[in-house]
């Protein structure tokens, strides 16, 4: 584990060069989303029939945890795509690491830990912003960060595998368009999945994001159900375990030749 | 004292393609050992196996007395690797590249700060310490890669084509540093396709071609065994080489015909050159020189080694 932390240190060092430039935007983006959708769009929905469909809460309260989880997913997907491919294909950081005592598993875990760190940061910023907007009605809301982290890792791990297996970065434009964006839009972050046609609902329920959104929403609303927590956490952990296994296999195939 | 690196029947296969075809190599402490060969000879594949990043397909390999398949991380902790591509992080500074690499070895930050300063002085990059690597010249990047490989005070240094692509001045600077390292007792293993580099630096070398070793020994041994003392190079008008080679064949121990010149291998170059003139052949260009590893390579593989 100590050796994986050495790999993490590299990612923190290179992040140190850029994080100041991103700090403003990392607060601004959630602010804009919540202002536009929570208040703007919300004023239509709250006044109409929508409010009943949302179980009596305001639209702002509904989408705030959804946005947190969906953004955790986006951050994870982005941090696991180009940077991972670059590390074996362009900059070759992984190869430099592997010439030292670090092992393939250290290189993988170190980089995953960095993505986890980035997801945690993003989720924390979101939590602060939605709390300021008054969209968190329970102290359990703090745990929405955990929901964000699990969601992020469930997407990061298979994305790592994809980024190491694929020969070219063109795969990412397809991946973002046909996997990440539809998941972002249709996994219950912006409207309940029950509003979707019945035939596609199972797909939405099978996405890791739906479970992440559901989990985050229970925490911010304070409507905890132990059964649902077990299902959501268990399902996300399943994705993380399978994704990690797949990524480890892909790393070994690519880096050990 | 056993060998630091000991390979027997060392083989590397990529699917069905054989990149290294069962080579035997011993490298002893304190020597400079070279792998000399053209593109695709299998030099990097061999170096990567010795560097414990590429699994051995068959044969045995011991590095520092250990098996790379079992003790890879422990061996790598005592190696310094200068890969064919530099693998530097261009966005970090020169110093940061050294520091983070040292951290991969688990070295404490305070130790590293001092060592980075020493190493930057050693490769003459002190005034570039805070520059981004992207702004360095090719020669500077190569020196930084060498400094980086030294950060863990390695017992064996693996240098894959340390001077390829560098201008003559940059090459000499690298050579100076390598000679100094050798004097400090570091065992150096390097690959090159430059004859003069092998002659300058290597105590012992193997000539590789097509994944096999075609000759081994000290540069002088190899020249003695496979070439004559001197060589006369005759440059003729293209197309006339074959005919003229026949006319001068008796003047030399051996004659080699290349696309642009004819080489006469002889113990006495001046005498042979005079004889060529006396026969009235008067080629447009004539040069007498000492024979080199280039000639050894030509003899062994039937090809020249120039890029
Ligand atoms: N990962 C790989 N997969 C398939 N073939 C490979 C791989 N690495 C090397 N080869 C092949 O093995 C042969 C030897 O390559 P290697 O890189 O060891 O040669 P080299 O002597 O270092 O050449 P150069 O002077 O060009 O660096 C080449 O034909 C190369 O194409
Ligand atoms: Mg090579």
Kindly list the residues of chain A whose beta carbon comes within 8 Å of any beta carbon in chain B. Answer: 2-3, 6-7, 9-10, 13-14, 17, 91-93, 95-103, 256-257
Sign of CA dihedral B226, B232, B236, B241: negative
Fold classification of B3-218 is: Rossmann fold (3.40.50)
Given this model, what pLDDT does residue B243 score?
Answer: 79
The CB of B40 under 6 Å from ligand 1? The reply is yes
Given this model, what pLDDT does residue B261 score?
Answer: 85
With b meaning 16 or more CB within 10 Å and e meaning fewer, what string describes A70-101?
bbbbbbbbbbbbebbbebbbebbbbbbbbbbb
Residue nearest to atom 22 of ligand 1 (CA): B44
Given this model, what pLDDT does residue B307 score?
Answer: 45
pLDDT in tens, A154-180: 999 999 999 999 999 999 999 999 999
Given this model, what pLDDT does residue B1 score?
Answer: 58
With H, G, I as helix, E, B as strand and everything else as coil, classify residue A35.
Answer: helix
Residues A59 and B81: their CA atoms lie apart, in Å, by: 58
> Of the bound ligands, which one is closest to the alpha carbon of residue A253?
1
Residues B228 and B236: their CA atoms lie apart, in Å, by: 22
CATH class of B228-291: alpha beta
pLDDT in tens, A94-108: 999 999 999 999 999
Residue nearest to atom 11 of ligand 1 (CA): B19
Task: Find, in chain B, the residue whose alpha carbon is nearest to that of A17.
Answer: B92
Given this model, what pLDDT does residue B306 score?
Answer: 56
Q: How far is B89 from chain A (nearest CA, A)?
A: 7
With H, G, I as helix, E, B as strand and everything else as coil, classify residue A191.
Answer: coil
Query: Average pLDDT in the A137-157 region?
Result: 97
> Of the bound ligands, which one is closest to the alpha carbon of residue B50?
1
Percent of chain A scoring above 70 in pLDDT: 100
Residue spans of chain B under pLDDT 70: 1, 305-307
CB-CB under 8 Å, A93 with B55: no
Residues B298 and B223: their CA atoms lie apart, in Å, by: 11
ipTM value greater than 0.90: yes
Query: Average pLDDT in the A33-61 region?
Result: 84
E strand or H helix at B223: helix B219-226
C-alpha B62 to ligand 1 mean position (Å): 22
C-alpha A115 to ligand 2 mean position (Å): 34
Given this model, what pLDDT does residue A53 score?
Answer: 76
**Chain A environment of B156 (Cβ under 8 Å):** none
Residue corresponding to tokens 């993988």: A108
Query: Average pLDDT in the A182-202 region?
Result: 95
- Where is pLDDT greater, at B195 or A13? A13
- β-bridge partners, B93: B132
For testing the chain A interface, which of B87, B109, B141 should be mutated: the one with the most A CBs within 10 Å? B87
Residues B233 and B227: their CA atoms lie apart, in Å, by: 14
Residues B25 and B206: their CA atoms lie apart, in Å, by: 8
Q: Domain ranges for chain B, please list them.
A: 3-218, 228-291
**Chain B environment of A3 (Cβ under 8 Å):** 73, 106
The CB of B14 under 6 Å from ligand 1? The reply is yes
Query: Average pLDDT in the A70-85 region?
Result: 97
Q: How far is B214 from chain A (nearest CA, A)?
A: 25
Residues B53 and A38: their CA atoms lie apart, in Å, by: 53
Q: How far is A101 from chain B (nearest CA, A)?
A: 4
pLDDT at A240 over 70: yes
Residue of B21, B40, B301 to test ligand 1 pocket, by largest number of atoms within 8 Å of CB: B40
Give the distance from CA A12 to its chain's centroid: 19
Backbone conformation region of residue B153, classed left if phi is above 0, alpha if psi is from -120 to 50, else beta: left
């Amino acid at each position: 584990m100590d050796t994986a932390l050495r790999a993490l240190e590299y990612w923190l060092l290179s992040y140190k060069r850029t994080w100041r430039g991103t700090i403003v935007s990392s607060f601004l983006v959630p602010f804009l989303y919540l202002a536009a959708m929570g208040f703007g769009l919300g004023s239509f929905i709250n006044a109409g029939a929508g409010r009943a469909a949302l179980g009596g809460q305001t639209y702002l309260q509904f989408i705030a945890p959804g946005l947190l989880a969906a953004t955790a997913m986006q951050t994870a997907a982005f941090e696991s795509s180009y940077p991972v491919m670059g590390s074996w294909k362009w900059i070759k950081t992984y190869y430099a690491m592997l010439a030292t005592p670090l092992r393939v598993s250290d290189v993988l875990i170190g980089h995953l830990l960095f993505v986890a760190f980035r997801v945690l940061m993003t989720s924390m910023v979101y939590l602060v912003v939605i709390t300021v907007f008054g969209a968190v009605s329970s102290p359990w809301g703090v745990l929405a960060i955990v929901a964000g982290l699990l969601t992020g890792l469930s997407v990061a791990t298979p994305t790592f595998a994809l980024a190491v297996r694929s020969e070219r970065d063109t795969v990412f434009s397809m991946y973002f368009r046909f996997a990440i964006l539809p998941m972002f839009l249709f996994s219950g972050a912006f409207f309940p999945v029950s509003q979707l046609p019945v035939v596609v609902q199972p797909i939405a329920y099978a996405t890791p994001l739906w479970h992440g959104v559901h989990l985050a929403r229970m925490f911010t609303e304070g409507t905890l159900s132990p059964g649902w927590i077990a299902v959501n956490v268990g399902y996300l952990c399943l994705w993380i375990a399978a994704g990690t296994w797949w990524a480890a296999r892909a790393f070994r195939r690519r880096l050990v030749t | 004292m056993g060998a630091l690196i000991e390979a027997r029947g060392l083989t590397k296969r990529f699917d069905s393609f054989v990149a290294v075809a069962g080579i035997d190599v011993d490298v002893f402490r304190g020597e400079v050992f070279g792998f000399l060969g053209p593109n695709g000879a299998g030099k990097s594949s061999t170096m990567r196996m010795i560097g414990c990043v590429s699994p051995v397909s068959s044969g045995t390999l011991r590095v520092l007395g250990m098996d790379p398949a079992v003790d890879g991380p422990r061996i790598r902790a005592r190696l310094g690797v200068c890969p064919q591509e530099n693998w530097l992080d261009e966005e970090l500074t020169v110093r940061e590249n050294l520091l983070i690499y040292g951290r991969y070895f688990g070295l404490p930050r305070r130790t590293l700060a001092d060592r980075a300063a020493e190493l930057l002085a050693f490769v003459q990059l002190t005034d570039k310490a805070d520059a981004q690597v992207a702004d360095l010249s090719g020669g500077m990047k190569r020196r930084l890669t060498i400094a980086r490989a030294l950060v863990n005070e390695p017992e064996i240094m693996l240098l894959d084509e340390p001077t390829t692509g560098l201008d003559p001045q940059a090459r000499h600077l690298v050579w100076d540093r390598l000679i100094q390292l050798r004097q400090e007792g570091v065992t150096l293993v390097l690959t090159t396709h430059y004859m003069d580099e092998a002659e300058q630096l290597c105590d012992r070398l193997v000539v590789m071609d097509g994944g096999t070793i075609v000759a081994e020994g000290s540069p002088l041994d190899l020249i003695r065994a496979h070439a004559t003392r001197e060589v006369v190079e005759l440059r003729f008008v293209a197309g006339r080489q074959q005919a003229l080679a026949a006319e001068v064949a008796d003047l030399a121990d051996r004659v080699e015909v290349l696309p642009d010149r004819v080489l006469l291998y002889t113990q006495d170059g001046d005498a042979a050159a005079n004889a060529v003139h006396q026969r009235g052949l008067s080629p447009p260009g004539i040069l007498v020189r000492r024979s080199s590893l280039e000639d050894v390579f030509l003899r062994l593989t039937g090809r020249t080694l120039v890029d």
